A and B are shown apart, each in its own frame.
Chain A
Amino acid sequence: EPEVTQTPSHQVTQMGQEVILRCVPISNHLYFYWYRQILGQKVEFLVSFYNNEISEKSEIFDDQFSVERPDGSNFTLKIRSTKLEDSAMYFCASSLAGAYNEQFFGPGTRLTVL
Chain B
Amino acid sequence: AQSVTQLDSQVPVFEEAPVELRCNYSSSVSVYLFWYVQYPNQGLQLLLKYLSGSTLVESINGFEAEFNKSQTSFHLRKPSVHISDTAEYFCAVSHNAGNMLTFGGGTRLMVKP
A residues whose Cβ falls under 8 Å from a Cβ of B: 4, 31, 33, 35, 41-45, 48, 55-56, 58, 91, 93, 95, 98-108
Are A100 and B43 interface neighbours, CB within 8 A? no
B41 within 8 A of A: yes
Given contacts A33-B99, A91-B44, 8 further A-B contacts (CB under 8 A): A35-B101, A56-B100, A99-B97, A102-B49, A104-B46, A105-B45, A106-B43, A107-B42
Report the minimal beta-carbon distance from A101 to chain B, rounded to whole angstroms. Answer: 8
By the criterion of a CB under 8 Å from any partner CB, how many residues of chain B are at the interface?
Answer: 25
Q: Cβ of B90: which chain A residues have Cβ within 8 Å of it? A: 43
Interface residues of B in 66-113 (CB under 8 A from A): 90, 92, 94-106
> Given contacts A43-B103, A44-B103, is CB(A99)–CB(B95) below 8 Å?
yes
